[in-house]
Amino acid sequence: MRTQVVIIGAGPSGLLLGQLLHREGIDNIVLELRSKDYVLGRIRAGVLEQVAVDLLGHAGVDARLKAEGLPHHGIELGFDGRRHRVDLHRLTGGKQVMVYGQTEVTRDLMDAREAAGLPTAYSVPDVSIHGFDTNHPVVRCTLDGKPVEIACDFIAGCDGFHGVSRASVPPEALSHFERVYPFGWMGLLADTPPVSEELIYVNHPRGFALCSMRSKTRSRYYVQCSLDDRIEDWSDDRFWDELRSRLDERTAARLVTGPSIEKSIAPLRSFVAEPMRFGRLLLAGDAAHIVPPTGAKGLNLAASDVNYLWQALASHYRGASAELGHYSDRCLSRVWKAERFSWWMTSLLHRFPDSTAFDQRVQHAELDYLVHSEAAMTALAENYVGLPFETQADR
């Protein structure tokens, strides 16, 4: 078997890359360890930057996103029993974000791939990658119970944090940068109307809370929890009580509760692996970096890597091979800015178990400064809606 690009992983990174390459006439095969249903069963964040929306449009997969996505022009910050609006639209000269679940993005990409008749294999065990430091890389795996070898020009490692791609790089060729946070997020999805039209990020003495949504009839809420907590410890009632206790009175009174349709606990981590290219192996998305969800940057960073990757591969096949040499630096420059922003939002809004009274006063002063300073709010807004992609004209 032979193709131009083998894409490992059918998350948003792999599927979006496959679609963009296909539109450039570049053949690709996607290999996914899990079943399609498993991939679609993962509930993840749901805020898209304008540049990510534009990229999905370029890939031809934005019809449902445009019809069903909720454009948001602002977010709110809650503390001291009050809410403060950050007018993203005004502060960024007219930009916005789109609320649309990652699961829906994945579903749209899967449908587009299927409609185009592109080769995708789910439930594929034993993926291993070879010879990416040569001009003739090979991917081996088991398809329908039989060992298969796929020769290719490039391997795109889009297989998430626990994937095989980064793990196949010799350790001495990789540098890791990591911060693990001493708390998690307990998330609950419910078919109840969202408590507010915009997202509310709350800093409360009992811990962080977030009011988000998937649609006008489906809410997504989070509360900061202990890393020792187990999902069984959190009945729906306990979750709703805890959330309500962290909201200001007016918001708490408006909260509509209901049975959960999904609950999960996620740890928070910042992680970057450098570089993102090893010969003919190119990492993208969670395979190369993780952000805590506070800035809603995970999916957006995956889109940003894919934006640089499809362009570099397209340039290569048009004879401009040097573009691939810039792939890693280009990605990492944007990745680190999103890492900084996500770390900052996380530090600003959570209760750290080891924080001193001094730390808490400083955190409070920063929130108070932020909501009263046009300059500070502009910096938040500019990062939240997403920094621009570097274009070839910028180089």
Q: Contacting ligand APR (CB under 6 A), which of 19, 92, 102, 120?
A: 102
Of residues 173-202, which lie at the interface with ligand PHB (CB under 6 A)?
A: 199
Q: Contacting ligand APR (CB under 6 A), which of 29, 47, 59, 158?
A: 158
What residue type is assigned to position 286 of the chain? D
Q: Contacting ligand APR (CB under 6 A), which of 49, 76, 286, 323?
A: 286
Nearest to 288 by CA among 128, 165, 149: 165
String of contacts with ligand PHB for each residue 124-163, x by CB under 6 A: ----------------------------------------
Of residues 43-82, which lie at the interface with ligand APR (CB under 6 A)?
A: 44-45
Distance CA 143, CA 133 (A): 25
* Shortest distance (Å) from residue 294 CB to ligand PHB: 5
The question of whether 289 is a catalytic residue gets the answer no
Nearest to 140 by CA among 150, 153, 154: 150
The question of whether 100 is a catalytic residue gets the answer no
Q: Is 220 in the site for ligand PHB (CB under 6 A)?
A: yes
Quick check: 14 and 31 in contact, CB under 8 A?
no
Beta carbon nearer to ligand PHB, 20 or 296: 296
Distance CA 227, CA 304 (A): 30
- Residue 239 tokens read as 């979750």
Distance CA 76, CA 212 (A): 11
The question of whether 72 is a catalytic residue gets the answer yes
Q: Choosing among ligand APR, ligand PHB, none, which partner's interface includes residue 220 (Cβ < 5 to 8 Å by kind)?
A: ligand PHB
Q: What is the three-class DSSP state of 42?
A: coil
Distance of alpha carbon 19 from its chain centroid, rounded? 18
Quick check: 32 and 9 in contact, CB under 8 A?
yes
Q: Given 12, 137, 194, 293, which residue is catalytic?
A: 293
Quick check: 3 and 28 in contact, CB under 8 A?
yes
Strand 97-99 versus strand 75-79 pairing type = unpaired
Q: Given 12, 22, 72, 73, which residue is catalytic?
A: 72
Give Cα separations from 367 to 72, 76, 360, 383 (angstroms). 22, 12, 11, 16
Stretch that binds ligand PHB, among 16-24, 262-270, 289-297, 364-372 (CB under 6 A): 289-297
Q: Give me the residues that bind ligand APR (CB under 6 A), please.
A: 8-14, 31-34, 39, 44-45, 102, 127, 158-160, 162-164, 285-287, 298-299, 302
Residues with active-site annotation? 72, 201, 293, 297, 384
Give me the residues that bind ligand PHB (CB under 6 A), please. 45-47, 199, 212, 220, 293-294, 296
